[in-house]
Structure 1
Amino acid sequence: MKSLLKNAREQKGLKTRELAQLSGIDQALISKFESGTRKPTKDQVTKLAQLLEIDYEILMVAWLKEKILYEIGDEEFALKALLLVEQEIQKNKKELNSELLSSYQIILDEIEILKTKIQSFNHFELRQISKTLELQFIFSSIHSNGNLLTQNEIKSVINDGLTISGKSMQNHLEAINFHEILVYIKDLIQKKTFLNEKDFLIIHNLMFRGIESENLGKYKSDSLILREMNLLFNWCELHKNNINPIILASEAYLKILEINPFENGNHQMANLLLNWILLQHNYVYATIEANQNSKEEYLSVLEKSQVKNDKSIFINYILKIEKENLNRAIQLITK
């Protein structure tokens, strides 16, 4: 770990004194970290990883390795103990995942029943559901960003190419762009293309086409963001077959907001990523209704989830929203 810290500091062109000022860590301590005579705390590792743009996972693994070596490296039965620790960690992780899944299981089962019912509808009925929910999703998505078009006006703009008097060109472009994004996502799903970084950036480009001229389809100029986004898509790929799609989508949403990769549109991109995953698995859009109460509930749930660092709060909220939208879809046909 000492070489990781020293090399990263030197590559950034920082002196230990300058790093001390930036990090709030005593200069003498930083020198000891780099010489290996002192070990940083976990909080200090996190801070140094961010400032020196070292991959957090790599630095944490190095920190844990040295911590373990310091504690038991010279013990006669260290290897046997480590094997037992590995088994115990894997067991605890499985139990934790099982416990979390069981807490969601009732509503997950209800959602699957509703989803199966929708899949039993004929082609015409499914098309009716798709068009209606898609329009509601576009309206909710752009309305939350201050767009003044009504749902019927959006329908006229998208389907008939009409210009709505008294509404700005940006309002029109936001509706058109969002519709084109959904067409693009549906085409990817048809081709069985799983979500990936290249198409994610294309979607960001589509969102602001004709509205902004800079930063379209580009992350902020920050190498840490590039690494974090790469890790996010690797994580999605790794877990796409072993985590329930709604849970996977909800966690991906939270990760996007945590990374905050774009200058503009982070909430909308998180929402599009979430619904991209849902649609890939034949769920319906998890649309949050475009009214003040629903918006306040969403913001409250998101804040509580972030402050408490408890993703289950947000996951349960998305499960509830998805169930509501599945019921709404069924009512379109059966009412």
Structure 2
Amino acid sequence: MKTLLKNAREQKGLKTREVAQLLGIDQALISKFESGGRKPTRDQVIKLASLLEIDLETILVAWLKEKIIYEIGQDEFALKALLVAEEEIRYQSKSSIKKTSPSLQKILDEIDILKTKLDGLRQFDSYHIAQALEMEYTFESNRIEGNTMTLRESDLVSNEGLTISGKSMREHLDVINHQEAIAYIKNLIKKNASINEREVLSIHNLILRGIHPEDVGRYRKVQVMIEGSSHMPAQPFLVAKEMEDFFIWYETNKNNLHPVVLAAEMHERILTIHPFIDGNGRTSRLVMNLILLQHGYIIANVKGDYESRIQYYQALETAQTKNNKEDFLLLIAQTEKKDLERYLNIIGQ
């Protein structure tokens, strides 16, 4: 890998000092990476691949190979251990889908390359771009739930205070409430607030304010069925306990999972519990995007057109009824990747 790094750097016409400055690490580390005196971390490998335009799979395979050789050295049982390890890896890959399957991990690595590019371009962030993308998010999230406002109508309602002829009061409130909920999660990020029951209930309160005043910010007390789904949510007397377990799961896993996987998991888990009479979808997507924004990613905007909505519901149904979250995790990861690519294109990079 050391030769790969050095050749790529020289082809780009960069000095080790310049690479170090661009990555925010010590120049001596870059020299040690190229001489083989020090092994980069996986995160550093991803950043180097992005900066030096090296094929990610090529450099990761080289990195893992050297890491394995470094660990086992010339041990007399090395080859036998590798054969046993190979069998174990094959067995694990055939067992239940893991959160980091090869296909998912590939997208996560690509996402992190895009995020690295974005981190170096934060000076190009624009309030007006953010405002436009947030309005698109409000439009799509509401469209998933059946709101018939167009993007332009949503903008007029939210930013101009206009009333759209032929649209219900509920549809107007959907737009206003969702925009206020986005502002709320952005404020939570500024305050570095943790995600807990109070904050999730507050988000739900904003979503349904003026629509179902008796149900805002409260867990449901009746059994519900999800139209078009065979999944049966928890009985009402179990909701509070399942939500308690939900927050325990979050605290246990928040530092162990990739942020995109963590965000998608939180999204799916809220929808599976279905703790509210109404507003579960919008609340769960806001919690998902709160996590993404907290970690420096951008809003993952699941689209509300017919085809995208069906794909979204089918992936969710598979997660809920077959205990297989792969499709759902992939859908959210692919959404985040596309939105990152689009954002970088908007700011001209």
> Which TM-score tier does this pair reach, normalised by the shorter chain?
0.5 to 0.7
3-state SS in 1 of match to 2:347: helix
The answer (yes or no) to whether the contact 2:97–2:324 under 8 Å persists in 1 is: no
- Structure 2 distance, partners of 1:177, 1:237, is 28
Distance 1:256 1:122 in 2: 32
Match of 1:156 in 2: 156
What are the Cα deviations for residues 157-195 of structure 1, in whole angstroms up to 9, with x where unaligned? 222222223322221111010000000000000111121
2:38 corresponds in structure 1 to none
Q: Does 1:226 align with 2:240?
A: yes
Q: 1:298 to 1:171 in 2, by over 3 A?
A: same
Corresponding position: 1:300 with 2:309: no
1:250 corresponds, among 264, 268, 273, to 264
* Aligned residue in 2 for 1:236: 250
1:24-73 deviation digits (Å, cap 9, x = unpaired): xxxxxxxxxxxxxxxxxxxxxxxxxxxxxxxxxxxxxxxxxxxxxxxxxx
2:265 corresponds to 1:266? no
Matches of 2:251 and 2:205, distance apart in 1: 23
1:201 aligns with 2:201: yes
Which residue identity is paired with 2:162? L
2: CA distance between counterparts of 1:270 and 1:182? Answer: 12
* Counterpart residue type for residue 236 of structure 1: Y
Distance 1:190 1:201 in 2: 19
Q: Equivalents in 1 of 2:219, 2:99: separation in Å?
A: 33
Q: CA offset at residue 263 of structure 1?
A: 1.2
Q: Distance in 1 between matches of 2:118 and 2:135?
A: 18
Structure 1 Cα separation of the partners of residues 109 and 244 of structure 2: 32
Identify unmatched segments of 5+ residues in structure 1: 1-90
- C-alpha offsets along residues 105-132 of structure 1, whole Å, 9 cap, x if unaligned? 2111110111122222244534344222
Q: How far apart are residue 102 of structure 1 and its match?
A: 5.3
SS of 1:101's equivalent?
coil
CA distance in 1, matches of 2:190, 2:345: 26
TM-score by length of 2: 0.65
Contact kept, 8 Å, 2:124 with 2:347, in 1: the verdict is: no
Aligned length: 243
Give, in angstroms, the shift of residue 261 of structure 1.
0.9
Determine if contact 2:220/2:277 at 8 Å carries over to the other structure.
yes
The one-letter amino acid of 1:229's match is M
- C-alpha distance in structure 2 between counterparts of 1:300 and 1:277, whole Å: 23
Structure 1 position 317 matched with structure 2 position 316: no
**Given the superposition, is the C-alpha separation of residues 155 and 99 from structure 1 closer, same or farther in structure 2, using an over 3 Å criterion?**
closer
Which residue of structure 2 aligns with residue 329 of structure 1? 343
Tell me the amino acid that sits aligned with residue 119 of structure 2: Q
Task: Determine the structure 1 residue equivalent to 2:176.
Answer: 176
TM-score w.r.t. length of structure 1 = 0.67
Distance across 2 between alignment mates of 1:212 and 1:195: 24
Report the Cα distance in structure 1 between the residues aligned to 2:150 and 2:307, rounded to whole angstroms: 18
AA paired with 2:116? T
Q: Distance in 2 between matches of 1:152 and 1:98?
A: 41
Gaps of 5+ in 2: 1-87, 222-235
Q: Quick check: 1:133–1:329 contact (8 Å CA) kept in 2?
A: no
Deviation at 1:305, TM superposition (A): 2.8
**Is the Cα contact below 8 Å between 2:181 and 2:206 reproduced in 1?**
yes
Change over 3 Å in CA distance of 1:283–1:260 after alignment to 2: same
Mapped contact 1:118–1:126 kept (Cα < 8 A):
no
C-alpha separation in 2, matches of 1:267 and 1:229:
15
